[in-house]
Amino acid sequence: MSASLDSSLDPMEEIRFRKKHGFTWQELQKETHFTFTELEQIMVIFFKIQKRDEKPGGDTISRAHFRDVLHTGLGMTDAYMMERVMVALDRGTTPYVTMQTFAKAFSLYLRGDLEERIAYAFTCYDLLGENYLRRETMYQLMKKSLVKASRDDDVEEAVKLPVSATGNRNS
């Protein structure tokens, strides 16, 4: 048997975990930027989160736990954008995140190339799934991304001001 994945796992629990998901990991390795060993380690993180989840059974974790991972592991703090990230990842509104989605998300965030990240970012911002971004959508997203000024109308004005090619605001 190969080395233990995690010393905090019960050895029998680890054996069952590896046997149950080994084939899935081999398939996932083809779809991610991870080696088999790296994927095993990421799946241990998933498994530990899954053990803490209230929902028994299945190969999923709650979106709430996934949000915690995004926040603590990847530094995402905007709840609105985290929701967009999850919808873009699993193309739905299920309250759970699968093992495959978890692995693909980490592959994208930790090892994805520029083209993959651009396509993914576009999917996050394409709120209506129209394959283009509307001015109104960009306005709402920019409004949410600005730090709240002392007044809401200051944010409105900052978003509406045109920006020149050099990045300076026109007067």
- Kindly report whether the global pTM for this prediction surpasses the value 0.85: no
What's phi and psi for 60, nearest 5 deg? -135, 165
| Whole-number pLDDT of residue 83 | 81
- Tell whether 148 and 118 lie within a shared domain: no
For residues 142 and 166, the model is more confident at 142
Structural domain range at position 26: 11-132
Using one digit for the tens of pLDDT, what is the confidence trace for 16-65?
Answer: 887 888 778 888 888 999 998 899 888 888 888 888 776 655 788 888 88
| Whole-number pLDDT of residue 159 | 60
- Tell whether 112 and 155 lie within a shared domain: no
Domain annotation covers residue 105: yes
- Tell whether 110 and 154 lie within a shared domain: no
Does 2 have pLDDT greater than 60? Answer: no
- Tell whether 138 and 87 lie within a shared domain: no
For residues 38 and 140, the model is more confident at 38
Q: How many separate domains does the chain show?
A: 2
- Tell whether 82 and 166 lie within a shared domain: no
